Structure 1
Amino acid sequence: MKITSLSARAVDCGFNSQKLQTSRVASPMSRFPRFAEQRASWMWPTKKVFVRVTGEDGLTGWGCTNGGEIVEMIVNAHLSRLLVGEEIGEIPALNEMMAAALLPNDRSGFAMMAVAGIDIALWDLTAKARSLPLAEVLGGAGGETLPVYITTPRPEAFAGTSWPGLKAAAPYGPEAGEEGLAENVALMRRFAQAAGDGVPIMIDAFLAWDADYTLRFAEACADLPLAWIEDPIHPQDIDGLQKIRREMDPGIDLALGNFAFSRADCADLLRSGVVGVLQPDVAWAGGITEVRRILAMAEAAQTPVILHNTCEQPWALALAAACQGDALVECVDRGETSPLYELMGPRPDITDGRVAVPLDPEGNRPPQIALTAFDAGANHTKGG
């Protein structure tokens, strides 16, 4: 089956109005006072990018990624003209072709988000053509549910529940001095109290810290069940990460890979010997095809993988179920009514700390807001 049309649309789905965007959360921009109080004040283009691929039999596959108008442009102005007319059967070859076409200019964030959006749509189209759930196409789900931990700004809401872990977003970095460090540690004490005995807690520093600050924080949390510190510094700062790993309590892992956008990035991290948990995002790191390669590398390195922001991505849940068995996955707490849970299908069913694996053969189904955006731009649907 050949690809007859491929296009992308950037749609504002309210990402910047989410609580994690409107509260104080540490980031690489925290040291600039103008941008310290809200991530929404500086974030990269936050529109969701929906990708539609149509085959010659009329079936349509859908993908979704981030990067707003930048990723939309990469898909429509560059990648779509390369793929229209190609056979869908060998998705890994198409994935390699897209990456090669971008390699002279970029092989990181926005570029690999564009590849990911198309790759996810190609897999969705393949599953629909076979009338099978994606998890079955990827090898078959080992069970109907997966254990899921929660990333949340409100730990007390999950006290006494069955979640296998609670993760905080750090509000402060080194720019806030001793007072900010004390606030970060106090936050973790709140999380530990809410989690209860035997439940691990974690913290995401979102590239806001440095090696010395990370070590001071870890020492201050020595009496807490801190399982990992996520992305304390940039993943390319291997020297800094190795310093942290040498000097930090070995019982605390480094969770890295959220900002590793390809198997090459993940290979660098794995070779460094610092990774306790690898966390690539399927919608950022080249899609299902590339993340399958990453999973194989991590397995060879005996490093556990938790796919980033899993519960907002039905394809990520399917991939975890088919290729990882009973792997732990992540749910980001957006509150009770966030549309981000339902961008490509029904809100995931989470009960007693486990999330249902999507097994609907109808696959990805974008919301009306995305379909309207495609209808408005119908003159761009073939070859970009």
Structure 2
Amino acid sequence: MKIRAISARAVDCGFQKQALQTTRVASPMSRFPRFAEARASWMWPSKKTFVRVEADNGFVGWGCTNGGEITEMIVNSHLARLFEGEAADAAQIHAQATASLLPNDRSGFAMMAVAALDIALWDLQAKAQGKALVDLLGGSELETLPVYMTTGRPEAFAGGGWQGLKAAAPYGPESGDEGLAENVALMRRFAEAAGPDQPIMIDAFLSWDADYTLRFAEACKDLPLAWIEDPIPPQDVEGLRKIRREMDPGIALALGNFAFSYADAADLLRSGTVGVLQPDIAWAGGITETLRILALAEAVDTEVILHNSCEQPWALAMAAACQSKARVECVDRGESSPLYSLLAPRADIANGQVAVPRQISGFAPPHFVSAAFEAAPEPSKGG
């Protein structure tokens, strides 16, 4: 099976209209007043990038990532010209794609583009073999996976059997003692909604510093705080080590949303600070790269929770097939959102459990995405 054509389209799927984008959520830009109130005011290109890979036998594979026009350009102007006409071998193409980008970037947008192409190639292979992706990855006897919920409205998920409720921190050090008090009050609200002995978590999105993180942890010492996620940039290894050394050992550091490759994940794990590793398959080089990350984490006995799992059917398939004690994340977008069903039907979640996807037909985009491919002119190939 050879690749006939590769194309990418950046499509607006309403990401900037989500509550996490339009309400106050702490971020690396919070210290700049004009960007503090809403992530939508500064967020990187927010369109979803869909990648379509057509094989010479008529099968079509689909992948998806973030990065909008940037990742679209990398696929159309660089990766497509390298691999059209080549065998649809995901491992071989992944190795060559990452090597071809290495002189410019081993991380970030480059690996997002590789991820979307890689996911599409795995989808193509599953369709060609007449298998569900979970079976192509080794199969699973599990019917469901336990879910934790990331939300801004914890009361809506009280008593739902979740593996925890996670908040997005609204404030960072720039908001002083008042902001710290508001963050702690939010955690008390989450603890009340979660119920006795149920874990709560908080995502600081790289917006804090080591001292602020320690102050927050101390202020929450009477709460069932399971982890603090990405409190500081992953490059600040000494800051992470200070937090891990001085913080209550019962509170984990959840890191790795912004680990875009095996190398990034390995750097974090070598720091000795990771309690939970949370790579995003659609950012961290795709399925092929994440298989390596899972093996690395298993070797050092570190739990992996695949980021934003319930919006990524490939993540649910990987968790079921490749992890012995998986739990996954669902991001609350409200009652309805296009983001719930970009390449597969909305994940079936009930009583804190999500069904393992087993569709043999694989991934397929909604009509508005297909229309974007049909309407747009053929992308130019770099050279």
Q: Given the two structures, how large is their TM-score scaled by the length of structure 2? A: 0.99
CA distance in 2, matches of 1:183, 1:383: 50
Please report how far the alpha carbon of residue 198 of structure 1 lies from its aligned counterpart in structure 2 after TM superposition: 1.6
User: 2:76–2:381: 8 Å Cα contact kept in structure 1?
Assistant: no
Q: Root-mean-square deviation (CA), in Å?
A: 1.1
CA distance in 1, matches of 2:87, 2:293: 25
CA distance in 1, matches of 2:289, 2:159: 38
User: 1:8–1:50: 8 Å Cα contact kept in structure 2?
Assistant: yes
Please report how far the alpha carbon of residue 142 of structure 1 lies from its aligned counterpart in structure 2 after TM superposition: 3.1
Q: Secondary structure at the match of 1:336?
A: coil
**Corresponding residue number in structure 2 for 1:237:** 236
Give 1:62's aligned amino acid: W
Any residues of structure 2 matched to 1:1-384 within 5 Å, and which? 1-88=1-88, 90-380=89-379
Please report how far the alpha carbon of residue 85 of structure 1 lies from its aligned counterpart in structure 2 after TM superposition: 1.1
Please report how far the alpha carbon of residue 226 of structure 1 lies from its aligned counterpart in structure 2 after TM superposition: 0.2
Give 2:242's aligned amino acid: K
User: 1:6–1:382: 8 Å Cα contact kept in structure 2?
Assistant: no
User: 1:142–1:326: 8 Å Cα contact kept in structure 2?
Assistant: no
CA distance in 1, matches of 2:370, 2:108: 25
Please report how far the alpha carbon of residue 182 of structure 1 lies from its aligned counterpart in structure 2 after TM superposition: 0.2
Please report how far the alpha carbon of residue 382 of structure 1 lies from its aligned counterpart in structure 2 after TM superposition: 8.1
How high is the sequence identity, in percent, across the aligned residues?
Answer: 73
Please report how far the alpha carbon of residue 326 of structure 1 lies from its aligned counterpart in structure 2 after TM superposition: 3.8
Q: Secondary structure at the match of 1:379?
A: coil
Give 2:61's aligned amino acid: G
| Deviation per residue, 1:70-118 (Å, 9 max, x gap) | 0000000001111111111x31121010000000001111000000000
User: 2:54–2:61: 8 Å Cα contact kept in structure 1?
Assistant: yes
| Deviation per residue, 1:252-296 (Å, 9 max, x gap) | 000000001000000011111000000000000000000000000
Please report how far the alpha carbon of residue 164 of structure 1 lies from its aligned counterpart in structure 2 after TM superposition: 1.4
Give 1:45's aligned amino acid: P
Give 1:130's aligned amino acid: Q
CA distance in 2, matches of 1:189, 1:75: 45
Size of the alignment, in residue pairs? 383
User: 1:7–1:381: 8 Å Cα contact kept in structure 2?
Assistant: no
CA distance in 1, matches of 2:125, 2:103: 29
Task: Give the ranges of 4+ consecutive aligned residues of structure 1 lying more than 4 Å apart after TM superposition.
Answer: 381-384
CA distance in 1, matches of 2:369, 2:382: 19
Please report how far the alpha carbon of residue 23 of structure 1 lies from its aligned counterpart in structure 2 after TM superposition: 0.4
CA distance in 2, matches of 1:380, 1:157: 44
CA distance in 2, matches of 1:312, 1:240: 32
User: 1:7–1:382: 8 Å Cα contact kept in structure 2?
Assistant: no
Q: Given the two structures, how large is their TM-score scaled by the length of structure 1? A: 0.98
Please report how far the alpha carbon of residue 378 of structure 1 lies from its aligned counterpart in structure 2 after TM superposition: 4.8
Give 2:344's aligned amino acid: G
User: 1:146–1:321: 8 Å Cα contact kept in structure 2?
Assistant: yes
Give 1:66's aligned amino acid: N
Give 1:20's aligned amino acid: L
Change (3 A) 1:86 1:383: farther
